[in-house]
Amino acid sequence: QVPLKPGRSLMDWIRLTKSGKDLTGLKGRLIEVTEDELSKHNKKEDCWICIRGFVYNVTPYMEYHPGGEDELMKAAGTDGTDLFDQVHRWVNYESMLKECLVGRMAVKPIAAPKGLPLVLLDFFFLSKCKILHFLLSFMKCLSAHFFSLSASLNNLNLLCFACLHDIYDWFQTDSLITVVIYTKQKDVNAELVIVDCQDKQLRGEIIIDDHSYLVEVDLDHAVSEDVAVNIAEKVGKVEIILNKKDNIHWKMLGQPCEGHNTFIKRTERGLFYRKCKLVSKTEVTHDTKLFCLMLPKGTHFRVPTGQHVYLKQIIAGTEVVKPYTPVLPFLPLDFQETPHHDGVHIYLMIKIYSHGLFTQALDHLQMGDYISVSNPEGNFKKSQVQTSEDLLLLAGGTGFTPMVKLLNFALTEVSCLRTVKLIFFNKTEDDILWRNQLEQLAHKDERFEVQFILSQPSKEWVGKQGRISSSLLSEFVKRSRRDSKVLICICGPAPFTEQGIQYLKDLGYSQEEIHAFTA
């Protein structure tokens, strides 16, 4: 993020979009935009960007963009969908930029390659899963034109089709409905299975690396709010067990929804939100609070270590979304037994900014109010810790939040770790989150060490002071042995993270040894 000029906050942008001012320059007209026309609008004073087939005039938004004008200019005059998905997939651009909509991109006709059957034209526009259906429907046509390949192609598509359609099944007893998903993956666990069952709609998503498989149906009959999930980790079988409200025989599971029975990249699947109830809000520091949210009944939901969720609120009629990393309610000091998630609550440690539109709205929520919480996202894998001997954590301010679960996991479940060190950067002593708990943890577990570094210390402060720098990191970021395997995790404001990564590389650490938590 970059500092914005006065009068260029999110609230100021919302006011501008509701002022009635023509932000497109087209006086309310929507036009069809060709690639050639789009490419002409590639300057700061005249910038159009295409996202998912829709073209927006982002010129008036330049000074309001939290990431700065230069980031927007990377996609100026082009299709910025891929860039947007890499950085801002969670942002509801349709709502934020609706008054900047210029129109749709013109569809560019594609000529069929010579000798290719006309029936294949649609093939190029289908999703991966639809392709599997489509290939079977015109197998005879393929055989006629590619006779030598027909047998192998037929086997390939039948195999794919079988994998797609036999991946789930369902059966019933007098009182239960059981949906079974055969993932054929040996490392499926509770954190990778997300189930939401409310108002006769069942949604079950299984995360498999960077892909996900989805079962989503409008159930044929009503079920109770109690949902159970059983996982046979060795064979990758997942059972979703529902209780019938009425002991009647179901003729079918229900009507499939869009996206049902699909296996696609997670980035291609829209974020799913469920409404969670605020049940408590406690003070952590003078400007940071711990929010406890209760999941709705009928939900099976765990946020994996190192991953984040998105909170969504409607503010002044505009949908606003922000990422946050769930934490634990406290730092467990007894690591004799792995603590179990209660399966009901999500804890979020959130800094309340005096002029922050989103966090002020959060802080004004009353007990019993609801807020939308997304499925988890992130690319951190526990295996990165499980193969390390030294774990070094660099946190700036609330960049501490992903370190909470990571600390708990490392000290509880990773026996090969020799050292776990947290270097925690803050402005003042009053800003240090969970200082007492961290000091108790360091006293309790000899593997763990915490170092507090302040940039604006009081005269009484006797600890280290300064900002993140090469000299400070060279003092504290060290391997326990010359050849030990190390993992360095870093999280904080964007400049802190970017500078930290560069300093670490300058000190000889490789990209593979560094993980930056970003959203």
> What are the residues whose beta carbons fall under 8 Å from the beta carbon of 398, sequence distance 6 or more?
288, 349, 350, 351, 433
Q: How far apart are the first and last CA of the chain?
A: 12
Which pair of tokens denotes residue 247? Answer: 């002991």
Confidence class of residue 28 from pLDDT cuts 50, 70 and 90? confident
Hey, what are 173's tokens? 């007893």
41, 74, 67: which is closest to 56 by C-alpha? 41
Q: How far apart are CA 467 and CA 425, in angstroms?
A: 7
Position 9 confidence tier, pLDDT thresholds 50, 70, 90: confident
Does residue 176 contact residue 239 with C-beta atoms inside 8 Å? Answer: no
Structure tokens given for 100 = 């900047």
CATH (one of 3.40.30.10, 2.40.50.140, 3.10.120.10, 3.90.700.10) for 10-105: 3.10.120.10
Residue 45 — pLDDT band, cuts 50, 70, 90?
A: very high
| Euclidean distance between CA atoms 486 and 428, whole angstroms | 29
> What letter represents residue 491's amino acid?
C
Taking Cα atoms as reference points, which of 290, 265, 313 lies closest to residue 86? 265
The domain 164-265: what is its CATH number? 2.60.40.790
% residues pLDDT > 70 (the chain) = 86
CA 7 from centroid of its chain's CA atoms: 30
Joined together, the tokens standing for residue 404 give 């909470």
Residue 280 · residue 342 · CB < 8 Å: no
| pLDDT tens-digit series, residues 250-275 | 999 999 999 999 998 888 888 899 99
Confidence at 1, pLDDT banded by 50, 70, 90 = low
3-state secondary structure 478-512: CCCCCCCCEEEEEECCHHHHHHHHHHHHHCCCCHH
Q: Is 228 helix (H, G, I), strand (E, B) or coil?
A: strand
Tokens of 398: 């609330």
The C-alpha atoms of residue 348 and residue 312 are separated, in whole angstroms, by 14
Residue bearing the bigger pLDDT, 85 or 192 = 192
Burial, 11: exposed, middle or buried (Cβ in 10 Å; 0-12, 13-18, 19+)?
A: middle
pLDDT at 108 over 80: no
Query: Is the pLDDT score of 159 beyond 70?
Result: no
Q: Is the pLDDT of residue 504 over 80?
A: yes
161 pLDDT exceeds 80?
no
Q: Is the pLDDT of residue 142 over 70?
A: no
Give the lowest-confidence range in 234-238, 292-296, 346-350. 234-238
Which run of H or of E encompasses 372?
Answer: strand 370-374
CATH fit for domain 273-377, picks 3.40.50.1980, 1.10.645.10, 3.40.605.10, 2.40.30.10:
2.40.30.10
Q: Where are the domains of the chain?
A: 10-105, 164-265, 273-377, 382-516
Fold of 382-516: Rossmann fold (3.40.50)
Residue 152 dihedral angles phi and psi, to the nearest 5°: -70, -40
Q: Among positive and negative, which fits the CA dihedral 470, 473, 478, 484?
A: negative
Give yes or no for a contact between 271 and 322, defined as CB atoms under 8 angstroms apart. Answer: no
Q: What is the mean pLDDT of the chain?
A: 86
> Are the C-beta atoms of residues 331 and 325 closer than 8 Å to each other?
no
Burial classification of residue 102, based on how many CB atoms lie within 10 Å of its CB (0-12 exposed, 13-18 middle, 19 or more buried): buried
CA dist 74 → 3, 42, 67, 497 (Å): 19, 9, 12, 21
